[in-house]
Structure 1
Amino acid sequence: MRRRHRRLTASADLDITAFLNLMIVLVPVLLLGMVFSQIRMIELNFPGMEAGQAPDAESFRLVVTVLPEGIEVADSDRGLIDVLPVTGQGQAYSRLSELLQRIKSRMPDKTDVILEVGPDVDYQTLVSVMDTVRSYQAVVAASVVEAELFPDVSLMDAGEDRNLAARPMEGKGEGA
């Protein structure tokens, strides 16, 4: 007579408690991190002409120059429009917004602006000026909306030795 031997089959117990603990901690941390890391993109255009293209001499070219000493707003035809020196609170973003709103009311079809940045301007100032140049908060039908100013922003370097200009003379026909 034959003996039938049963093979002993031992089932290995998997210990996955360490893995589950990792997942319990890792999944909520990653989900929370996604909310706080939203990226905001600003589309930029760089000044320059295509080969064979001539500049239009009669076009209004708005140039906003950002320097550590303040902000200049200029026009390619008439020159300097206004100078906004730094105050005790920092750059004059609200005055810049008001000036650009006045310019936009005179030329509603204009959407481009050249942002000339000095070498010692910090990144936060640059982004704040770009936000100020692109839009402003307006009240429409009892709600606050972002109204468009000059959304097509081109970047340009200001010269190393560039200084803030003197304020334009009042009553000489300069300014917006």
Structure 2
Amino acid sequence: MRRRHRRLNSTPELDITAFMNLMIVLVPVLLLGMVFTQIRMIELDFPGLAKGEVPDPDHFRLEVVLVPGGMRVADSERGIIRSLPLREGKQDFAGLRTTLQAIKQRMPEKTDIVLRLGGAVDYQTLVTAMDTVRSYPAVVAASVVEAELFPDVSLGDAPDDLRISAVTDHPLTGGRP
């Protein structure tokens, strides 16, 4: 007679200890390696008048024209306030800040400015110009704070053939070069 051997049908247990150890180490390493970014929004307006709106002749409209050859601060209706050519191959943001501070001292209620950009101006220069026209570092009560210049920034196009030459004095800047 033949014997029948019964095979035991049992399911083996999975040993996932090694996998769990890997996950315990891998998850914190991946979390530490993540780059957390902060997104800042700057509200912008585009220059121009609404349909049917007539410009006020006594309204002072401050604009900064930014081209690869330099910058120019002007009143859009009355002319150039100050020209800032490149200084050592770079834009003169310190001179721009000084000029805007002088204008802000004479017109503290003014908050808007138009930033006109030439076609070849790179993104980093645009961001630096926007930061420069919006505020400047000031010392108040022994701590450095951001003082407001012209936070309401509008963007526009500058003429491509514009050349920035020597520094121009104007009564609004107090005769500063």
TM bin, normalised by shorter chain, reads 0.7 to 0.9
* Aligned mates of 1:46, 1:80 — CA distance in 2: 21
Kindly report the root-mean-square deviation, in angstroms, between the aligned alpha carbons of the 2 structures: 2.4
Q: Which runs of 4+ in 1 moved over 6 A?
A: none
Residue 125 of structure 2: aligned partner:
125
SS state of the match for residue 105, structure 1? helix
CA contact (8 A) 2:84 2:166 kept: no
In the other structure, the counterpart of 2:3 is none
Q: Which amino acid aligns with 1:116?
A: R
2:16 corresponding residue in structure 1: 15
Q: 1:174 to 1:80 in 2, by over 3 A?
A: farther
Count of residue correspondences: 167
Give unmatched runs, 5+ long, in structure 2.
Answer: 1-5
C-alpha distance in structure 2 between counterparts of 1:155 and 1:149, whole Å: 16
Distance 1:56 1:21, change over 3 A: farther
Q: 2:62 is matched with which residue?
A: 62
Note the C-alpha offset of 1:108.
0.7
Q: Does 1:115 align with 2:115?
A: yes
How far off its partner does 1:13 sit? 0.7
TM-score, structure 1 length as denominator? 0.82
* Structural mapping, 1:1-176, within 5 Å: 8-15=9-16, 17-18=18-19, 21=22, 24-35=25-36, 37-88=37-88, 90-168=90-168, 170=169, 176=173
Partners of 1:133 and 1:149 within 8 A in 2: yes
CA positional deviation for 1:145: 0.2
Q: Does the aligned pair in 2 maintain the 1:58–1:77 contact within 8 Å?
A: no
Runs of 5+ unmatched residues, structure 1: none
For the structure 1 residues 146 and 24, does the alpha-carbon distance in structure 2 shift closer, same or farther, using more than 3 Å as the test? same
Amino acid at match of 1:112: D
1:46 to partner: Cα distance: 1.2
Give me the whole-angstrom Cα distance separating, in 1, the residues matched to 2:124 and 2:17: 47
Measure, in 2, the Cα distance between the counterparts of 1:145 and 1:119: 33
Relative distance call for 1:126 and 1:14 in structure 2 (3 A) is: same
> Which amino acid in the other structure matches residue 80 of structure 2?
L
- Residues 102 and 172 in structure 2, CA contact (< 8 A), matched pair in contact too: no
1:110 is displaced (CA, Å) by: 0.7
Alignment-mate amino acid for residue 79 of structure 2? G
